[in-house]
């Protein structure tokens, strides 16, 4: 892809963006508010959080959005392995370091598999699970 070209509708980037849009709509309907989208740590080898949301009670929710065409090999949930969890937790810690006080936090996942309805896993993993 060059310069100003947009990704084709079927490109992984476009599909990922579409899944994030759908996840954001699902979470917003459930009362969560968007804090930030696609937060990345600086430098190579860092981490990224797809969506950072806030629950009405103030809990900060770091959301990983995963999309798979089918449930083969464990599906979308299994694709959030230990390395991915570690990078998400790393990015979350980096984000939290910028705050005056640390709110309650959790790590959720919104999973898309084939044509099935999205699955929202609250507390999909714990920061301690990443190490």
Spatial CB neighbours of 83, under 8 Å, sequence gap ≥ 6: none
Number of domains in the chain: 1
Check: CB of residue 34 under 8 Å from CB of residue 78.
no
The reported pLDDT for the residue numbered 77 is 72
For residue 104, the tally of other CB atoms under 10 A from its CB is 10
Residue 47 included in any domain? yes
Tens place of pLDDT per residue across the chain (131 aa) = 455 555 555 676 777 788 999 999 999 999 999 999 999 998 777 789 999 999 999 999 999 999 876 555 566 777 788 888 999 999 999 999 999 999 999 999 999 988 888 999 999 998 876 54
Residue 57 included in any domain? yes
Residue 21 included in any domain? yes
CATH of the domain at 108: 3.40.1350.10
Residue 1 included in any domain? no
Residue 32 included in any domain? yes
Check: CB of residue 86 under 8 Å from CB of residue 66.
no
Residue 54 included in any domain? yes
d(CA 62, CA 127): 11
d(CA 129, CA 39): 21
Residue 7 included in any domain? no
Domain residue limits at 32: 12-130
Residue 2 included in any domain? no
């Amino acid at each position: 892809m060059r310069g100003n070209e947009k990704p084709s509708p079927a490109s992984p980037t476009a599909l990922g963006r579409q899944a994030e849009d759908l996840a954001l709509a699902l979470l917003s309907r459930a009362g969560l508010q968007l804090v930030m989208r696609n937060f990345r740590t600086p430098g190579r080898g860092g981490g990224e959080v797809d969506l950072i949301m806030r629950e009405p009670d103030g809990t900060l929710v770091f959301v990983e959005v995963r999309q798979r065409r089918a449930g083969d090999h464990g599906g979308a949930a299994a694709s959030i392995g230990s390395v991915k969890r570690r990078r998400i937790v790393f990015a979350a810690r980096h984000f939290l370091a910028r705050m005056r006080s640390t709110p309650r936090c959790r790590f959720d996942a919104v999973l898309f598999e084939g044509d099935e309805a999205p699955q929202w896993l609250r507390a999909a993993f714990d920061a301690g699970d990443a190490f």
